[in-house]
Chain A
Amino acid sequence: MNRATRTFLAVGAWALLAVMMVWTLAPIAVMVFTSFKERNDIFAIPATLLPKTWTLENYASVFTSSSMPQALLNSVVVGALVAAATLVFCFSAGYALARFRFRSSRPLAIFILLGQIVPLTVLLLPLYQLVSSLRLLDSTIGIALTHLVITVPLVTWMIRNQIAAIPIELEEAAQIDGGSRFDAVSYVTLPIAAPGLAAAGMFAFLQSWHEYLFASVLTTSSSSRTAPVALTEFATEYSVDWGATMAASVIITVPIVIVFIVLQRYFVGGLTGGAIKG
């Protein structure tokens, strides 16, 4: 390849990257900049990307005169419940899948994994009735219970892969030194797997943080409404407060993006690993 073609290819690659970035980030920019616009600026024609005057009034109204603060708290509670329960269920199952070969392992693994492709809407009515019969409607525990449907299949797989990557000899060494298998897991495997487990727990938290379908039908009051549901409440039948909606969107999104950037190594490995390996 001569120099001219190489320069041409480099320019082409950077240009394509620019297009890709505009496509990916333009809606994010619209969200962020609209959240700082004044009310009359938002409905200005022609529409502009940047605010004419920057204001924080949208953020102020989200925090002072909406149910969003309560909803964010509810989302944190639900997410924490989901993450904790998911880790308990999935560490146990993931460990068994990684460390044992037994006749029912494959059917059981497929059974748990198939939960991943069941359409959530299919479960809407039965789960609503289940939560209702447990008298957990409009409660954070009720929502958390349904979110386990989403997290358990994938996290089982993430944890299985993480444990399979830890040499079994480490556990065997602890057992030869006189520890029980339980000791070996508690003092050897768990500490080594801790960062990966933290990422898996975070992943479960994020899934719960995103979930809208179940939360929208299981909540009837602001005492249990989660952030995604509360976001849609800014739109009344007649008008949408777009400034407050965009400010609330930014508030819901920012923590997620930060967490993802910090933990993306684990997420990416866990997800592609789960999807490609059999």
Chain B
Amino acid sequence: MTQTLQTPAVRARRGRLGGHPVALMLPAAALTAGLTAIPIISTIVRTIADGGSGLARLFAIPNFWQVMLNTVIWTIVSVLGAVIIGYIGALLLQAKALRLTGLWRSLIMIPWIIPGVVGATVWRWSLSSDYGILNQWLLDLGVIPEPVQWLSNPDVVLYAVAVVQVWVTAPFAVLMVSAALAGIPTERYEAARLDGASAPKILWYIVVPSIRATTGIVVLTLAIWALNSFTIIWVMTSGGPAGSSTILPILLYQAFQNGDQSLTAAVAVLQLAICVLFALVYVRTMTDLEEQS
């Protein structure tokens, strides 16, 4: 760490020639202030200034609690699915029996790197009840007796769009868990094996504890993404049918489209409150990690 072992000469030279580091950060910080901080503050001020009538109208929307429940279900299903697939994918890519792991890893990344609009559009077509390939395959395999109305059955649609969110975000979980697994020293596995530990025991006592911190970060990141996700649901269902796949960001967009500024700001403040909660946990986890490493 050169920075901690600065000689006085180096420090003096820096002071003379380097300018002040804050000046270097000023453009990016000013940009963040102008495009993120001030808009957030203005949104909060707007909500307070109208005497809470926007918030009152938000809570009075007939299906408000339905939207909140949808948001929770959508987030839990999306995160759980992506984490499970992330773990399986990452452990699988560690398997010694596999060849060409670099190729498979690249292919697994594809859903994450293609534009969200494209992913949502393709899934919307694949899930079409009459012409969609998924229903056809499931019928051929005898899994379902008749075509499922994936996107028009109010009881199914939320889970159907959550599957697409899982498809898009699972590669991120694979990537992160892979990186964490690669960081486990091989000596630990060898020591455990010398002590006669079985594969499931190694998984539970060596692997899981070693990647617990990464898991925390992955879960938080995925949850934040799911809570803020807009494109997939909007392109696939626009929140329908009859609001059964509407989550908070969709509600906000609809209010925006209707030109209802005070309701838009009210939903934004609610989303912010949830976001702040997650941000606090996030920063906490990051700090813990720093202290550990």
Partner of B27, one of A26, A93, A181: A93
Partner of A149, one of B35, B98, B221, B286: B35
> Among B40, B104, B122, B271, which residue has the most Cβ atoms of chain A within 10 A?
B122
Interface flag for B83 (CB, 8 Å): no
Contacts of B104 in A (CB 8 A): 17, 20-21
Contacts of A118 in B (CB 8 A): 36, 40, 272, 275
Partner of B109, one of A17, A48, A111, A260: A260
> Among A47, A110, A209, which residue has the most Cβ atoms of chain B within 10 A?
A47
Contact assessment for A119 and B249 in the assembled complex, using a CB-CB cutoff below 8 Å: yes
Contact assessment for B32 and A92 in the assembled complex, using a CB-CB cutoff below 8 Å: no
A14 to B96, CA, bound (A): 11
Cβ distance B150 to chain A, nearest Cβ, rounded Å: 13
A268 to B125, CA, bound (A): 31
Interface flag for A253 (CB, 8 Å): yes
Partner of A275, one of B32, B123, B217: B217
Interface flag for B224 (CB, 8 Å): yes
Partner of B40, one of A47, A123, A231: A123
For window 188-232 of chain B, which residues contact chain A by CB distance below 8 Å? 214, 217, 221, 224, 227-228, 230-231
Partner of A92, one of B25, B37, B171: B25
The residue on A at minimum CB distance from B111 is A24
Contact assessment for A122 and B131 in the assembled complex, using a CB-CB cutoff below 8 Å: no
Given A153-B32, A172-B10, 10 further pairs, Cβ under 8 A: A24-B110, A46-B136, A47-B131, A117-B224, A121-B253, A145-B35, A169-B2, A212-B231, A275-B217, A276-B176
Q: Interface of B with A (CB < 8 Å)? A: 2-3, 10, 13-14, 17-22, 24-25, 27-29, 31-32, 35-40, 42-43, 85, 88-89, 92, 95, 97-98, 104, 106-111, 113-119, 121-123, 125-126, 130-133, 135-136, 139-140, 167, 171, 175-176, 179-180, 214, 217, 221, 224, 227-228, 230-231, 234-235, 248-249, 252-253, 256, 261, 264-265, 267-268, 271-272, 275, 278-279, 282-283, 286-287, 289-290, 293
Q: Interface of A with B (CB < 8 Å)? A: 6, 9-10, 13-14, 16-17, 20-21, 23-28, 30-31, 34, 42-49, 88-90, 92-93, 95-97, 99-102, 104-105, 108, 110-112, 114-115, 117-128, 130, 145-146, 148-149, 152-153, 156, 167-169, 172, 175, 180-182, 206, 209-210, 212-213, 217, 227-228, 231-232, 242, 245-246, 249, 252-253, 256-257, 260-261, 264, 268, 271-272, 275-276, 278
